[in-house]
Copies of this chain bind each other. A is one copy, B any other.
Amino acid sequence: MTLQSAKNTDKIPEPTLRRLPWYLSCAKLMGEKGEKFVSSTQISRQINIDASQIAKDLSYVDITGRTRVGYEIERLVQVLEDFLGFTNLHRAYLFGVGSLGGALLGDSGLAHFGLKIVGAFDIKPELLGTSINGIPIYHTDEFEARMRTERVNIGVLTVPISIAQEITDKMVAGGIKAVWNFTPFRIRVPEHIVVQNTSLYAHLAVMFNRLNEMNT
């Protein structure tokens, strides 16, 4: 039994989960170029990750590579998209229609990766009753009532840091199960709630710092 055919049933580690989308886009591209099969060695050459690491990562998903030819591309793409949750639409509410929140509402690309924002909440009078990209904006006070009729699991947090914790508490009380936190504030949640931090500002800080190091 080689690594390529081993089906790993352990809980998938986060670094693996973060690498899988790279393999997916690499496989998609090769498929578009007319290729039928791809090996971990080929992926390795393209994206500069160790081939044994790739084979190990792919052992977590339900696919078996064939000796010498590798993985069937069409199936690899489909299996990865399913596994990553991109083929299921996950409904979400967004909280805080400021500059970043508004930008995310306008980004139709998220739906291609499984996230469908079905409503947004804010308190600014000029926003209420309007919509962005077809997504209606409601008053934050309406959240609990809306959850009763249109239940969603995911809340996207793009409010100012001064109310980040308060809005998070409100989301959790209303039944939200996962918070995608774009604020630079570290929110606290009960243990059974999933938090995914995506701080563009922290990423900027890392990039600026490395850029400075390179130039000194």
Contacts and interface: CB of A to CB of B under 8 A. Distances in A.
Interface of A: 11-12, 14, 17-18, 20-22, 24-26, 28-29, 32, 47-49, 84-86, 88, 90, 98-100, 102-104, 106-110, 113-115, 153-154, 161-162, 177-178, 180, 183-186, 188, 192, 194, 196, 198-215
Given A106-B103, A200-B198, A18 B206 contact: yes
B202 A17 contact: yes
A207 B157 CA distance: 14
Main secondary structure of the interface of A (DSSP, over half): helix
Contacts of A211: 90, 153-154, 177-178, 194
Contacts of A206: 14, 17-18, 196
A114 B199 CA distance: 14
A204 B110 CA distance: 9
Given A201-B86, A208-B84, A188 B48 contact: yes
Nearest to A133: B99
A97 to B, nearest CB: 12
Nearest to A209: B17
Contact of A194 (B20, B84, B207): B207
A25 B185 contact: yes
B200 A110 contact: yes
Contact of A90 (B177, B183, B208): B208
A183 B21 CA distance: 10
Contacts of A180: 203-204, 207
A84 to B, nearest CB: 4
A201 B24 CA distance: 11
A107 B107 CA distance: 12
Given A205-B20, A207-B196, A29 B177 contact: no
A11 B186 contact: no
Contacts of A14: 206
